[in-house]
Copies of this chain bind each other. A is one copy, B any other.
């Protein structure tokens, strides 16, 4: 990419930045993990294989309302995606990057 986003960011006013973020946020689709898996055209069996676990475990994970970040990251990776953890504030968002280097076995 020719443009440096860090420079572009520095030039934008905080308001413009917060507005751009809010617009993108509103464009995002929202769904729970089960729906996301279906949208990615994967079965629980396929997910289980990719996560080195069994189908009933995948089913359990999909019903959870809380889990370790590493577990969620592995689930999303199994679908071919990347997890992003963002803290949103009225004056702009920040990506939390301290969870990005872990690659552990799935915690259930």
Binding site for B on A (CB under 8 A): 1, 5, 8-9, 12, 17, 20-21, 23-33, 36, 39-40, 64-70, 72, 76, 79-90, 92-99, 101-102, 104
Contact = CB atoms under 8 A, between A and B. Distances in A.
Contacts of A101: 65
Given A27-B12, A66-B102, A99-B66, A72 B85 contact: yes
B33 A98 contact: yes
Q: What secondary structure prevails in chain A residues at the interface with B? A: mixed
A92 B80 CA distance: 12
A25 B86 CA distance: 10
Contacts of A87: 36, 76, 79, 81-84
A81 B94 CA distance: 10
Given A36-B94, A95-B29, A83 B81 contact: no
